[in-house]
Structure 1
Amino acid sequence: MASVREFTLPDLGEGLTEATVVRWMVAVGDVVAVDQPVVEVETAKALVDVPCPYGGVVTARYGEEGAEIPVGAPLLTVAVGASQEDAGSAAPSHDEAGSAVEGAVDGADGTRVAAPANSRPAAESSGNVLVGYGTGAPAGRRRRSRPVDGFGAPVPPAPAPPPPPRAAEQGPVAVISPLVRRIAREHDLDLRAVDGSGPDGLILRADVERAARSLTEKAGLAPEDRPASGSTAAPPVTGAGTEGGTEVRIPLTGFRGTVADKLSRSRREIPDATCWVDADATELLAARRAMNAHAEANGAARISLLALLARICTAALARFPELNATVDTEAREVVRHSGVHLGFAAQTPRGLVVPVVRDAHTLDTAGLGEELARLTESARTGDLKPSDMTGGTFTLNNYGVFGVDGSTPIINHPEAAMLGVGRIAEKPWVHEGQLSVRRVVQLSFTFDHRVCDGGTAGGFLRHVADCVEQPAVLLRTL
């Protein structure tokens, strides 16, 4: 006995109510195993693979690539629980939902497709439908089931469907990074036609971007009309403007739309204030050089400046726990958190994301450096999970990498504070009563005025500045 099970887009959590289909991994007629990824979707948080909890034959797919699907809407249907031997003699029957059949089921194109002999019954489905996670069971090899008629005899094969518009997704290619594949899809590039410059012909991001530029130049597109590498935003809409000109409208959808909503909500709900101070970072940089010299001599990992700043933040939050908080607006309560989940701003091809280091207060500088490096690499390649970007209690924003001195950060809602760090530049500075050239950084601190007054915020920022100027201050908290 076979039945058709409908798999719907699961609850994504964290307030996410829809996802965009990026790439289908199976076709109608393919055999799938329990917990095999069947579709790649993009949420407002990350690119994730969705595993199907049923094993069997795919009978229908819902949603083309680029379509937005709400949570609870059907993704695909799978025929489970029948053997191929039974397919020839079984007659169709329907349950209350009209979906149960015996032996064979109708595919989306009207052909009869036999269920696999080794598929699990419906009762053995994993029930694991959380986006981005599976049980880890190896995915079965996808194969086409041979069509049979109602008497068990083979039927002539149906005409081959037309090839998909993007050949880049067919056949094995020397690509590891999912970001490379995504850029190729956005430019309609056939990866098999791209020469890889990496080891053993591996196709790198630079190879795909070079091939994309070549295509746009041949097409005669102006630079401003070319799609940005790694961009997942909807294409701009051009319309008539004033005085004979044109205007470009870029929809705020998907990831960019969610970012816009979150920033707007932060400005709307949080009465924020900003204070700042210049600090002499010369001694901090000297301490980092000493740490890295010792690390290299002992084969250990180098310490990044961001890791040192993160350790300073956790030390300052231990002294000023009022700032490691969120505000429950409906209950009119300030919620102080016992653990520090430190977010840090990272610029990626998709835009600005904020990965979160869990339990940062329990890590030393080396441990923070390792976790920051791991999350940064995942952000760069687009492999961050939604859980990697949620649950933060405080954010560190190093905008100095853009070559700017200062900024007034927008608080990462619903957190209560954010520390901003500008570039470290040589400036004239009075040091020990003498004018000298020192390495100076501007620190800015934006805080929710509901959780504390200016004295607390000023004390926090001053402690951070003291640790930057005199790293030995940290010894008291290590």
Structure 2
Amino acid sequence: MPVVREFRLPDLGEGLTGAEVVRWLVEVGEVIAVDQPVVEVETAKAVVEVPCPYGGVVTARYGEEGEEIAVGAPLVTVAVAPADGASLLVEAAAGMLAEAAAEVERPLVGYGVAEPGKGGRRRRVGGAVPGPVSAAVPAVVPVVVPAPAPVVRTVPGVVPVISPLVRRLAREQGVDLAALSGSGPDGLIMRADVERAVAVKAVALTAPTAPAAPTAPGPVAREGVVPLRGLRKAVAEKLGRSHREIPAVTCWVDTDATELMLLRRQLNAAPGPKVSVLALLARICTVALARFPELNSSVTEDGSGIIRHPAVHLGFAAQGRRGLVVPVVRDAHARTTEQLGEELGRLTEAARDGSLTPAELTGGTFTLNNYGVFGVDGSTPILNHPEAAMLGVGRIVAKPWVHEGELAVREVVQLSFTFDHRVCDGGTAGGFLRFVADCVERPGTLLRQL
């Protein structure tokens, strides 16, 4: 007999206690392989797919989309076969495969190897209706029973559907498969059964109804409440804690960035990867932190000491599809300007498509915040707890500026620096910001530090 195994939400790292269900990737009754992703969840760090270590038939799912599941709570249950059994799909597959073969160019014959280049989770194999299931679906981990009985009678709670086409049609039309009686062998639900249910539903919707009795106008709709979940909840908690615990101070300076922009144009005119303004600023930050190591630090949890970080793990604010995130460039102090640019570009692209991993969003020691991309000049940001400092960069814009004793139009940027006053005094913070501004105004200053 099959053994039903329970898969619980694993610890996704970094002390996370739960995750929100974003999207289910499998359905009850579906045959899955070992280590196949079954659900997409959103943690406080990123959106990740969770693979199941069991292969067999999914018998239950726990949690609706948008619901939060605690680490260690049940996620799915899977009916797993003993090692010496026969395939669960022996009788049921052939009828459904014949139906699928008449509807698509490449018939769906089971859940075997994924179709090359498609990246989907539904496995497709070309060819006609197969013979023995063991030859047709070699990648399936079989669920077995003593006799070749259909799944509906072997595993309680499994919807008697084999064809992914039928499942997709039911999902698109809003038909509850569990409420249908199948017309196929041993109660198997066929495409015609779903289409019949859709037709009945359409008739019910178009049937005339008695006019509703007049009612008094109801009250005006109350303000809606958007629950704090996932990333938004994590951001709210972290920023709230930072604001409560860290005595943050911000100082700023207007800076002539004309020479820095000229240097960038010269670098990009030469062969090789293009250098971004953010990469140049990141390189300036690593040099400045080498001169002022007090700012590459954090205060201990109990507030009794200051941790000096030997490496610079540079975080930077990036706008992703889930909102504002802070990817981290590991060992930024050991990278060249080109290497910084390449890693910044890779992480920015990952933020845009939502593929950042939790490891890429944690462990920062200092943050570079380029809010100039939003068209603003200055800001007083909240520190990224538990970091002790953040450099903010506004937009670079042409302005009247006194240069070498004469009025000229120059490219000017406002630099702001927010720091934890517990780790240093204003002299250190001002020295850091002034050094950064000098490097922006006279990029040749960097040569003394390289």
User: Structure 2 length normalisation: TM-score?
Assistant: 0.72
Displacement after TM superposition at 1:389 (Å): 0.5
CA distance in structure 2 between the partners assigned to 1:447 and 1:392 by the alignment: 15
Equivalent of 2:148 in 139, 142, 152: 152
Aligned ranges for residues 88-127 of structure 1 at < 5 Å?
none
CA distance in structure 2 between the partners assigned to 1:25 and 1:394 by the alignment: 37
Matching residue of 1:288: 264
User: Structure 1 length normalisation: TM-score?
Assistant: 0.68
Q: Secondary structure at the match of 2:243?
A: helix
CA distance in structure 1 between the partners assigned to 2:43 and 2:10 by the alignment: 12
Matching residue of 1:268: 244
Matching residue of 2:419: 447
Amino acid at match of 1:343: G
Displacement after TM superposition at 1:249 (Å): 2.4
CA shift in 2, pair 1:83/1:450, >3 Å: same
CA distance in structure 2 between the partners assigned to 1:251 and 1:155 by the alignment: 40
Percent identity of paired positions between Structure 1 and Structure 2:
68
The question of 1:332 aligning with 2:328 is answered no
CA distance in structure 2 between the partners assigned to 1:400 and 1:389 by the alignment: 22
* 4+ runs deviating over 3 angstroms: 83-88, 138-168
Matching residue of 2:18: 18
CA distance in structure 2 between the partners assigned to 1:155 and 1:398 by the alignment: 57
CA shift in 2, pair 1:460/1:48, >3 Å: same
CA shift in 2, pair 1:425/1:255, >3 Å: same
CA distance in structure 2 between the partners assigned to 1:459 and 1:333 by the alignment: 23
Matching residue of 2:215: none
Aligned ranges for residues 219-368 of structure 1 at < 5 Å?
246-294=222-270, 298=271, 300-330=272-302, 332-368=304-340
CA distance in structure 2 between the partners assigned to 1:270 and 1:147 by the alignment: 56
Q: Indicate the RMSD between aligned Cα atoms, in angstroms.
A: 3.1
CA distance in structure 2 between the partners assigned to 1:166 and 1:276 by the alignment: 56
CA shift in 2, pair 1:76/1:427, >3 Å: same
Checking the alignment, whether the CA contact within 8 Å between 1:60 and 1:78 is kept in structure 2 is yes
Amino acid at match of 1:341: H
Amino acid at match of 1:285: M
Displacement after TM superposition at 1:81 (Å): 4.6
C-alpha distance after superposition, 1:413-436 (max 9, x if no partner): 110000000111111111111111
Q: Secondary structure at the match of 2:407?
A: strand
CA distance in structure 2 between the partners assigned to 1:280 and 1:429 by the alignment: 8
- Larger CA deviation: 419-428 vs 58-67: 58-67
CA distance in structure 2 between the partners assigned to 1:400 and 1:267 by the alignment: 23
Checking the alignment, whether the CA contact within 8 Å between 2:56 and 2:142 is kept in structure 1 is no
**Consecutive unaligned residues in structure 2, runs of 5 or more:** 89-110, 113-119, 125-136, 154-158, 174-217
Checking the alignment, whether the CA contact within 8 Å between 1:5 and 1:80 is kept in structure 2 is yes
Displacement after TM superposition at 1:167 (Å): 3.6
Q: Secondary structure at the match of 1:248?
A: coil
CA distance in structure 1 between the partners assigned to 2:364 and 2:447 by the alignment: 26
- Larger CA deviation: 355-364 vs 343-352: 343-352
CA distance in structure 2 between the partners assigned to 1:474 and 1:19 by the alignment: 45
Q: Secondary structure at the match of 1:472?
A: helix
Aligned ranges for residues 389-400 of structure 1 at < 5 Å?
389-400=361-372
- Larger CA deviation: 406-415 vs 325-334: 325-334
CA distance in structure 2 between the partners assigned to 1:10 and 1:155 by the alignment: 28
C-alpha distance after superposition, 1:7-58 (max 9, x if no partner): 1111122232111111222223333333221111111211101111223332
Equivalent of 1:469 in 433, 441, 444: 441
Q: Secondary structure at the match of 1:262?
A: helix
Matching residue of 2:27: 27
Q: Secondary structure at the match of 1:66?
A: coil
Checking the alignment, whether the CA contact within 8 Å between 2:327 and 2:347 is kept in structure 1 is yes
Displacement after TM superposition at 1:149 (Å): 7.4
Checking the alignment, whether the CA contact within 8 Å between 1:405 and 1:441 is kept in structure 2 is yes
The question of 1:79 aligning with 2:91 is answered no
CA distance in structure 2 between the partners assigned to 1:60 and 1:457 by the alignment: 57
CA distance in structure 1 between the partners assigned to 2:64 and 2:223 by the alignment: 29
CA shift in 2, pair 1:87/1:269, >3 Å: same
Indicate the structure (1 or 2) with the bigger Cα radius of gyration.
2
Matching residue of 1:127: none
Q: Secondary structure at the match of 1:247?
A: coil
Displacement after TM superposition at 1:444 (Å): 0.3
Checking the alignment, whether the CA contact within 8 Å between 2:87 and 2:143 is kept in structure 1 is no
Displacement after TM superposition at 1:253 (Å): 2.0
Displacement after TM superposition at 1:148 (Å): 8.3
CA shift in 2, pair 1:148/1:380, >3 Å: closer
Total equivalences in the alignment: 355
Displacement after TM superposition at 1:376 (Å): 0.4
C-alpha distance after superposition, 1:76-131 (max 9, x if no partner): 1223352574589xxxxxxxxxxxxxxxxxxxxxxxxxxxxx99xxxxxxxxxxxx
Checking the alignment, whether the CA contact within 8 Å between 1:30 and 1:57 is kept in structure 2 is yes
Matching residue of 2:127: none
- Larger CA deviation: 305-314 vs 330-339: 330-339
The question of 1:369 aligning with 2:341 is answered yes
Aligned ranges for residues 143-182 of structure 1 at < 5 Å?
151-154=147-150, 160=161, 167=172
Amino acid at match of 2:374: F
The question of 1:380 aligning with 2:352 is answered yes
